[in-house]
Amino acid sequence: MTSCYGGTCLTPTTGAAPMTFATALQYFAAAQCLLPREPLPEAQVNDDDDFDFIVVGAGSAGSVVASRLSENPNWNILLLEAGGDAPLESDIPGLEGALFGTEYDWHYLTVNDGVTSQALINGSVGWNRGKMFGGCSSINGMIYLKGDDQIFQTWYNLGNKEWSVDQVRKYFKKAENLQNQEMLKNPTISDQYGHSGPLVINKFNSTYSDYIQNVIDSWDEIGFRRVNDLNIENFMASGTVTATAADGIRQGTDKAYLEPAANRPNLKILKKTLVSKIVIDNLKASGVEVEKDGKKIKLKASREVVLSAGTIESPKLLMLSGIGPAKHLQDNDITCLVDSPMVGQNLQDHCLVPIIIYGNEPKETDPTDMYHSHIDYLAYRKGLLSHSDLVTDALSVYTTETNTTYSNVQNILSILPKNLDTIKDTFMSAFRYNESVVDSIVELNKDYGTYFFLFSILKPYSSGNISLSSSDPKDKPLIFPNYFKDPRDLAVAAAGIKMATKILDTDYFKSIGGFLGRMNVPECDQFELDSEDYWKCISKNLVTTIFHPVRTSQMGQCISSSVVDSRLRVHGVKNLRIIDAGVLPTTVNGNLNAVIIMIGERGSDLIKEDHKNEEF
Ligand SMILES: Cc1cc2nc3c(=O)[nH]c(=O)nc-3n(C[C@H](O)[C@H](O)[C@H](O)COP(=O)(O)OP(=O)(O)OC[C@H]3O[C@@H](n4cnc5c(N)ncnc54)[C@H](O)[C@@H]3O)c2cc1C
């Protein structure tokens, strides 16, 4: 088949056969229109227009908040989003990576600290973030993992009384609509999920299933038990994940929450609108300043402004509006209205260190199979495009600590068939590894199938911060993730990776001649492959992100240690709340999206409760 490409077909024809085949191809090309996506309606607003609530950012949390608040027909809601409608590529799980670096991505870069991530381009980590309706839920890996009840108990124990395990579980269920038939048949699993919420969750229509099962068998062999549902059993466990994808299509919060609410007369939505400042009068938020189509206007909120701009932009907006560490505001010529020292602090992320194992499987993919698989997607939403192009749905969680029942590390499996032509681009664009590192991986991949385990630390000790680079709202802030600043994290990484590489001694990996390849990081050449020192060196030099930054607007009891209270109201300013990934009191040992959507649900009800007795 490959030999036909570019050649001429010499067989005589009446024209009927080519016409038939051309029509079939046209049908499949047109089938992309079957992916349902209507642009969200956009409102017209004028300078000084007044609303009850203004929600800033239509991401994982903001879409939930705008949708839930607009359930009250007496409230007028304005939702402001810096991006626009998510493109077709967002709907197709296998094109996640194609969104990176486009206009749909804020594409932040961390500040080079001269110590970590030195084998990445310019020593800085790419923090991709969705800039569109759905925010990061429209660009993420779609893994739906909620994390452990022990975390939410900690939140409660820290004095955040609205966040007991029971409340948190109730709001997860409020969001969820589990549609996987196998899971629904099992009452133990089915009972743990909601069934009538807006957020459809299911399993991916996966493709590499034989290889995935072999890896899960191997994990099981080294003590990471195979379980039916990682949302229920998440300690020393492995399996396939539930996903915010159904029937081969991504389920972002734009689709789940905004599309059904978009035509409500009391919900107005503005696209491509950058909020540049919160207007604060007498320590009370009264609206926002925005820039749209090159014009600056003010919009008023009589009840509340809700910031859902995410871990990076929400603290930036607070600081631009005069709420933040006084000295830092002064340094940027911003008048300090509220000295709130923790704004932008406590930044934590789940970092990523690559573990790469090579072997005699999977063999090279025939391009014909790939094209068949794409047709399969158009016709049946199956095949390669029906799951993320960056990772598979197989994952393990385990601990490096003793006397605990809490998983503090995670491996997500990615499978790269032998001699994959996209491997170089993927490693350079998604992970920003410099060319010599990537070339060492590409060289081995020419001859061997590649199992890439995305190892990450779920309970980091290190924390960083976000600060302003200037007082211009269009300038990106400075991001200091401080990975491995606390040496305990390096010890956890080395121990966790050593536990993971035991997989080389399992039946399957022995059968395919599995081995670790050296990555070209000269600083690590002095260390024996797979030794603790080697992994510490690799971790330090190759650390990047699984895109889970949190806590820069942390919830807590007082302004000296947190930014919002447990009802998510900003300390020191009235009528201003934050509802997004920034408010987490501690990070979680799940992946973030589920938790942020839950926070959107819980936060919306806190607002409703707080305004319950007001006259309309
Ligand atoms: C590449 C990637 C992969 C990921 N994979 C997973 C995964 O598989 N599973 C998982 O659980 N989690 C994953 N995550 C993390 C998860 O998706 C995020 O933690 C979560 O979506 C954050 O939600 P949020 O509401 O806090 O912010 P966001 O979803 O980022 O929403 C913020 C919104 O505010 C808008 N905005 C920002 N500033 C302004 C402004 N000034 N004016 C107007 N609008 C503004 C943004 O454009 C955005 O739409 C991933 C994230 C990324 C980026």
Question: Does residue 487 have a cis peptide bond before it, meaning omega lies within 30 degrees of 0?
Answer: no
Q: Are residues 568 and 584 in the same domain?
A: yes
Asked which of 493, 518, 542 is the last residue of a domain, the reply is 542
Q: pLDDT tens digits, residue range 171-219?
A: 999 999 999 999 999 999 999 999 999 999 999 987 678 999 999 999 9
Interstrand relation of 199-201 and 176-178 (parallel, antiparallel or unpaired): parallel
Element (H, E) at 507: helix 507-511
Residue among 68, 107, 140, 320 whose CB has most ligand 1 atoms within 8 A, to mutate: 140
Q: Is pLDDT of 16 > 60?
A: yes
Q: Please name the residue ranges forming H helices in 227-269.
A: 253, 259-261
pLDDT at 34: 64
How is residue 560 annotated by DSSP? Answer: T
pLDDT at 2: 54
Whether residue 409 is contained in a domain is answered as yes
Total domains, the chain: 2
Closest CA to 478 of 470, 492, 468: 468
For residues 315 and 326, membership in a common domain is answered with yes
Q: What is the mean pLDDT of residues 86-114?
A: 95
Q: What is the pLDDT of residue 453?
A: 98
CA distance 84 to 334: 30
Q: Is the CB of 581 under 6 A from ligand 1?
A: yes
Q: How far is CA 147 from CA 15, 107, 256, in A?
A: 60, 27, 21
Same domain for 387 and 334, yes or no, is no
- Portion of the chain with pLDDT greater than 70, in percent: 97
Mean pLDDT of 516-520: 93
pLDDT of residue 19: 85
| Span 372-385, pLDDT tens digits | 888 888 888 898 89
Task: Give the mean pLDDT of 101-116.
Answer: 97
Q: Give a yes or no: residue 2 inside a domain.
A: no
User: Is residue 140, in this structure, part of any structural domain at all?
Assistant: no
Q: Is residue 127 part of a domain?
A: no
Residue 384: the pLDDT is: 87
Whether 528 and 418 share a structural domain: yes
Cα 407 from Cα 384, distance rounded (Å): 30
Q: Does residue 394 sit in the same domain as residue 525?
A: yes
Q: What is the CATH number of the domain that holds 596?
A: 3.50.50.60
Same domain, 414 and 531: yes
Residues 372 and 314 in one domain: no
Residue found under tokens 């060319």: 435
pLDDT bin (cut points 50, 70, 90) of residue 262 is very high
Q: Quote the CA–CA distance of 110 and 90 in Å, as a whole number.
A: 25
Question: Distances from the Cα of 199 to the Cαs of 257, 260, 413, 584, 595, in angstroms?
Answer: 8, 11, 25, 21, 13
Distance in Å, CA 135 to ligand 1 centroid: 5
pLDDT digits 0-9 by tens, 119-135: 999 999 999 999 999 99
pLDDT above 70 (res 7): no
- The pLDDT score that the predictor gives to residue 605 is 98
Both 397 and 531 in a single domain?
yes
pLDDT score, position 372: 86
Cα separation of 457 and 399, whole Å?
A: 10
How many residues are present in the chain?
616
Residue 77: count of CB within 10 angstroms of its CB: 26
Is 492 assigned a ligand-binding role in the annotation? no
Range with the poorest average pLDDT among 2-11, 101-110, 304-313, 602-611? 2-11
Whether 585 maps to a domain, the answer reads yes
pLDDT of residue 38: 84
User: Of all helices (H) and strands (E), which one includes residue 21?
Assistant: helix 16-30
Nearest to 556 by CA among 162, 61, 280: 162
Q: Which atom of ligand 1 is nearest to the CA of 141?
A: 8
Single-letter code of the amino acid located at 348? Q
439 and 360 within one domain: yes
Instruction: Answer yes or no: is 179 within a domain.
Output: no
Check whether residue 344 and residue 390 sit in a common domain. no
Helices H, strands E: what count in the chain?
Answer: 19, 27
CA distance linking residue 606 with residue 616, whole number of Å: 18
CB atoms within 10 A of CB 615: 4
CB 131 less than 6 A from any atom of ligand 1: yes
Examine the residue annotation and report whether 195 is marked as an active-site residue of this protein. Answer: no
Same domain for 232 and 261, yes or no, is: no
Q: Which residue of 432, 587, 593, 601 sits with most ligand 1 atoms within 8 Å of its CB, as the best mutation to test the pocket?
A: 593
Mean pLDDT within 582-588? 97
Residue 323 lies in a domain: yes
Enter the tokens of residue 218: 């191997």
Sign of torsion over alpha carbons 53, 293, 140, 546: negative
pLDDT of 4 = 57
Angstrom distance (rounded) from CA 50 to CA 73: 16
For 2-97, strand residue ranges (E) read: 50-56, 77-80
Q: Is the CB of 82 under 6 A from ligand 1?
A: yes
By the 10 Å C-beta count (0-12 exposed, 13-18 middle, 19+ buried), 263 is classed as exposed
Please pick, among 195, 374, 387, 548, the residue that the annotation labels catalytic: 548
Buried/exposed code over 341-359 (b: 16+ C-beta within 10 A; e: otherwise): bbbbbbbbbbbbbbbbbbb
Pair 501, 567 in one domain:
no
Whole-number Å distance between alpha carbons of 135 and 549: 14
pLDDT of 3 strictly over 80: no
Of 492, 514, 542, the position where a domain reaches its end is: 542
Rounded CA gap, 360 and 290, in Å?
56
Res. 6 pLDDT band, cuts 50 70 90: low
Residue 236's pLDDT is what? 97
Boundary residue ending a domain (496, 524, 542): 542
Domain assignment of residue 570, given as a range: 50-87+253-348+550-610
Give the DSSP letter of residue 518: P
Q: Tell me how far apart the alpha carbons of residues 85 and 138 are, in angstroms, rounded to a whole number.
A: 10
Whether 577 shows a pLDDT value over 90: the answer reads yes
Per-residue pLDDT, 428: 87
What pLDDT, on a 0 to 100 scale, did the predictor assign at position 442?
Answer: 96
Average pLDDT, the chain: 95
What is the distance in A from the centroid of ligand 1 to the CA of 128?
9
Q: Is residue 165 part of a domain?
A: no
Task: Report whether 117 contacts 124 (CB < 8 A).
Answer: yes
Q: What is the CATH number of the domain that holds 517?
A: 3.30.410.40
Task: Judge contact between 520 and 437, C-beta under 8 A.
Answer: yes
